[in-house]
Amino acid sequence: MGPYSFATEANGLVFLSGQVGLIPETGGRAPDDVSAQTHQAMSNIGGVLSDLGLGYKDIVKTTIFLADMDDYAEVNEVYGSYFESEFPARSAIQAGALPGGFLVEIEVIATR
């Protein structure tokens, strides 16, 4: 969707660009439902991390961008299901509008 890298590493940290509800296998979109798009964004994050030999446990910070802050509780429930114990630090903001009309975008910082 633009001129950027999916991930960049520096000084033991891995910075993942924001992930949305795109389905990598088809190039299609997750349904226009914030829960489905959150699951897909988190799945995409897991895929990028896996390609780098990392997992959700290696995430230390996330930023969640929401098209509508009223979706916070639903996103929070889905997001939380991807972590077993220690949760990363996190910020969540209402962005107003996201690229492609998506409802949620999530970026992460992980550590090696």
Task: From first to last of the 112 residues of the chain, give the pLDDT tens digit.
Answer: 678 888 999 999 999 999 999 999 999 999 999 999 999 999 999 999 999 999 999 999 999 999 999 999 999 999 999 999 889 999 999 998 999 999 999 999 999 9
Q: What is the pTM of this model?
A: 0.95
Quick one: residue 11, left, alpha or beta (phi over 0 = left, psi -120 to 50 = alpha)? Answer: left
pLDDT of 1? 60
pLDDT of 85? 83
pLDDT of 92? 98
Task: Locate the domains of the chain by residue range.
Answer: 7-111
Query: Fold for domain 7-111?
Result: 60s Ribosomal Protein L30; Chain: A; (3.30.1330)
pLDDT of 4? 84
- CA-nearest of 59, 45, 50 to 17 is 45
pLDDT of 74? 98
- Edge-to-edge, what's the strand order for the sheet holding 7-10? 7-10, 13-19, 104-111, 59-66, 89-94
